[in-house]
Amino acid sequence: MPAVSAADLRSLLGEPLYAEVVDYFVAKTGAPAEYVERQTLECLRYLYLVSAHEDELAGLFLPVEQEIDEIWHYLILQTREYREFCAERLPGGFFVEHRSISYSEYQDEPPREQAAAEALRWIPLYVKEFGPFDEGALPHWTIVRFLHEELDMSLDQIAELDTAAVS
């Protein structure tokens, strides 16, 4: 059973803001509500990971899709609620700052091997906090989708990546 459930994350953000985000992006994109709810959940998982594992993840590029980044932007614009969410509800108790950078720009910075290692470092942390990835997570996490679709790794194999590093 995951340490942090979807209901826990919704509660941390607060139902009114969660519903506002989902309604806004359903109207903006025309995507089904269920899909937008999952996007919002994966954004909250991203923010939770960055907050809970600052030492391990500080300065790393976590490869989420652009739609997740857009949800994060929307949350940031709700300044009072976002500040309270970060400082008082997320486990790290600090403001999670945002810096937009594309994966291709990020790959230009560190050597290729370092970029690959950093892209994989957060996977065991995700699994530890939220349980294994499922099919619903694949559209939102670039590297997980790549491992699954391009390298033919099963979701179980992905969940087992470097689990000793987070024990």
Question: What is d(CA 64, CA 41) in angstroms, rounded to the nearest whole number?
Answer: 12
pLDDT digits (tens, 9 = 90+) for 90-136: 999 988 877 655 545 544 556 667 766 777 888 999 999 999 999 99
- pTM of this prediction? 0.87
Q: Which three-class secondary structure string do you get for 126-147?
A: HHHHHCCCCCCCHHHEHHHHHH
Torsion sign across C-alpha atoms 82, 104, 130, 55: negative
d(CA 154, CA 134): 10
Measured CA to CA, the distance from residue 149 to residue 138 in angstroms comes to: 9
Single out the residue of 122, 147, 155, 136 nearest to residue 48, CA to CA: 122
Tell me the C-alpha distance between 142 and 119, whole Å. Answer: 10
What does the pLDDT read at residue 26? 98
Give the integer Cα–Cα distance in Å for 137 and 142. 10
| pLDDT, tens only, 37-87 | 999 999 999 999 999 998 888 777 677 888 999 999 999 999 999 999 999
- Provide the residue ranges of all domains of the chain, joining segments of one domain with +: 6-166
Query: Residue 158: which of 138, 133, 121 has the closest Cα?
Result: 133
Q: Kindly report the backbone phi and psi dihedral angles of residue 110, in degrees, each rounded to the nearest multiple of 5, phi listed first.
A: -85, 165
